[in-house]
Amino acid sequence: MLHGTEHLAASGGLPAFAHANGWEYAPTAAVPALGSSLWERASSGAVRDRVSGLGWEAGRIVPSRDGASRVERRGGLTYTTSVSGGGPTIPIDYFALTLPRRLPNMVLDARGNDHGPFSSLQTIPLASQRLSLEGDFDSHFRLYVPTGYERDALYVFTPDLMALLIDETGDLDVEIRDDRLIITRPGGFDFTSAATWERFGRILETVGAKAWDRTDMYLDERTQTPALQFGAPEIGGMSSGAGPRVAPAGRRVRRLPFANSPSAWIGLGFGAFGILVALGAVVFAIVVNAG
């Protein structure tokens, strides 16, 4: 049961709301599951208004043209992840759940939030990585996994988890990245609405619990990383899983090398049309000269 919902209506009331529920509030924080691919340039800034509890966090990623970095310690060593800027500049609201293991990157693109014929994802995974699942799941989500990790995805996405994803997150995009299950919504979440936080609670209790159960024993057989590693670091207020257990080929899906937007697709269409016109002119010239 939520407490302090009256604070949500007040300007700057999010910290008081978080405190009333025993959660932590931070005006700025590091981006979860930061990496170096094109998609992640959209999240290379910092998190604003992060609220976190046991095993979860929520906030708004405000991108930066200047890039970002994150420092973490694993096994007594210090690792620094740096990302250059220059990507999309659209803020991303997210709700992230921690998982007990690092997993291959898996992307669930919800059909329910498509913009007409266009996906709502900022950058789209290559179609060759698309994996079809049983039942009517494909009518709700497009699932993308790194090539060669199809069996791993089938291990995670059992029928009961798929049913929960449809019921609780059918209009939301879901991505497993490292040891996080990250949920986003086109247009963002209304963090001033009690209904948003109630929904987060339901997702945590249903999808989160089942995802934890399905991934608790996962191990990428392509690596030789020990199954247990003690003293795992805490990142962004959430307990991180043990060190890297996924081979490089499975850590990120491959995506199209441009941001997804109607204007981008229209631009590509005009570009392709221009190329066809130019080729046609060349062929016409060859035929005329040959005659």
DSSP structure string for 164-187? HHHHHHTTSEEEEEEEEEEEE-TT
Structure tokens belonging to residue 5:
């919902």
199-223: pLDDT as tens digits = 999 999 999 999 999 999 999 999 8
Residue 255 has pLDDT above 60, yes or no: yes
The residue written with tokens 């913009």 in the block is 115
Q: Where are the alpha helices (DSSP H) in the chain?
A: 14-20, 150-156, 159-169, 194-203, 209-215, 262-290
CA dihedral 264, 270, 276, 280 (to 10 degrees): -170
Residue 49's H or E segment, with its range, is: strand 46-53
Question: Given pLDDT bands bounded at 50, 70 and 90, which one contains residue 197?
Answer: very high
Residue 287 has pLDDT above 90, yes or no: no
Sign of CA dihedral 68, 46, 198, 107: negative
Q: Give the pLDDT confidence score for residue 207 in this predicted structure.
A: 98
End-to-end CA distance of the chain: 83
User: Which of 162-166, 178-182, 256-260 is predicted with the least confidence, judged by mean pLDDT?
Assistant: 256-260
44-85: pLDDT as tens digits = 578 899 999 999 999 998 876 554 444 444 444 434 444 444
Q: How far from chain centre, in Å, is Cα 152?
A: 18
The residue written with tokens 């699932």 in the block is 143
Q: Give the pLDDT confidence score for residue 150 in this predicted structure.
A: 97
Residues above pLDDT 70, as percent of the chain: 69
Q: Where are the alpha helices (DSSP H) in 141-261?
A: 150-156, 159-169, 194-203, 209-215
Q: For the residues 109-122, what does the mean pLDDT come to?
A: 85
Q: Helix or strand or coil: residue 60?
A: strand
